[in-house]
């Protein structure tokens, strides 16, 4: 697909801590769904974002960290690439991490659009991690941060302990059900705030993330 007729600009954003010993070759293989979609022949060739001001895809071997702030032109079929990438990153991740993906409607012009016309912008949050427990921990932390940020407009932080406790109960119940079927270990309890807001459809266009 030519970048000129692609209906979306797709922005992938997130930091993934990697296991000790993860090599560039392993990471290149895990991220193959991304760089091949961009028409590249290698990760090095495809790591550059469509926008020069964005860092693109970076691998810090010393910090053992994968950083993505990368945009590509594409269509809804890019979602399949994301599924494949997440499955591969699960095997390389040291801890749970969230990856934000924003689909910007490249064909929508706010100034020229009819009043009833809406853009097809979409926003999804993906999670990767070495275990379901690690992934649930990230999901829990993000939800707690979102809820606390919202409710602190009306309540003091020390009044929200009960709310956080109820969120922990919900995740404990979900994980207990998972344990009974997969015989996995108990997830860690709340460890404080997480990262950016959780997934869902945004109201209006979301700003790009720059490092």
The rounded percent of the chain whose pLDDT value lies above 70 is: 77
> In terms of domains, do 68 and 157 share one?
no
Summarize the confidence of residues 37-59 as an average pLDDT. 97
Report yes or no on 209 lying in a domain.
no
Helix (H, G, I), strand (E, B) or coil at 125: strand
pTM of the model: 0.76
Residue 106 belongs to domain spanning:
8-131
Asked if residue 137 and residue 51 are part of one domain, the reply reads: no
Shared domain for 137 and 41, answered yes or no, is no
SS3 of residue 60 by DSSP: strand
Query: In sequence order, which residues have a C-beta less than 8 Å from that of residue 176 and are 6 or more positions away?
Result: none
In a domain, 24, yes or no: yes
| Residues 52 and 111 both lie in one domain | yes
> Rounded mean pLDDT of the chain?
83
pLDDT of amino acid 46: 97
Provide the domain count of the chain.
Answer: 2
Residue 143, exposed/middle/buried by CB under 10 A (0-12, 13-18, 19+)?
middle
Q: What is the pLDDT of residues 131-169, one digit of tens each?
A: 988 999 999 888 888 898 889 889 888 888 888 888 888
> pLDDT value at position 202?
37
- Asked if residues 111 and 123 have their Cβ atoms less than 8 Å apart, the reply is no
């Amino acid at each position: 697909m030519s970048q000129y007729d692609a209906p979306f600009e797709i922005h992938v954003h997130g930091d993934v801590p990697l296991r000790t010993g993860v090599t560039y070759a392993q990471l290149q293989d895990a991220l193959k769904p991304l760089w091949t979609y961009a028409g590249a022949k290698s990760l090095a060739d495809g790591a550059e974002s469509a926008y020069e001001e964005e860092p693109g895809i970076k691998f810090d071997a010393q910090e053992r960290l994968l950083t993505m702030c990368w945009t590509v032109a594409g269509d809804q079929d890019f979602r399949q690439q994301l599924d494949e990438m997440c499955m591969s990153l699960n095997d390389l991740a040291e801890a749970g991490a969230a990856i934000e993906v924003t689909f910007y409607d490249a064909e929508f012009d706010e100034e020229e659009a009819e009043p009833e016309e809406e853009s097809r912008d979409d926003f999804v949050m993906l999670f990767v991690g070495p275990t379901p427990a690690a992934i649930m921990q990230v999901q829990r932390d993000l939800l707690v941060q979102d809820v606390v940020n919202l409710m602190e407009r009306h309540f003091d932080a020390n009044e929200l302990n009960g709310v956080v406790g109820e969120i922990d109960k919900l995740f404990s119940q979900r994980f207990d059900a998972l344990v009974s079927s997969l015989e996995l270990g108990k997830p860690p309890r709340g460890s404080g705030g997480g990262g950016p807001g959780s997934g869902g459809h945004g109201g209006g266009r979301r700003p790009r993330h720059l490092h």
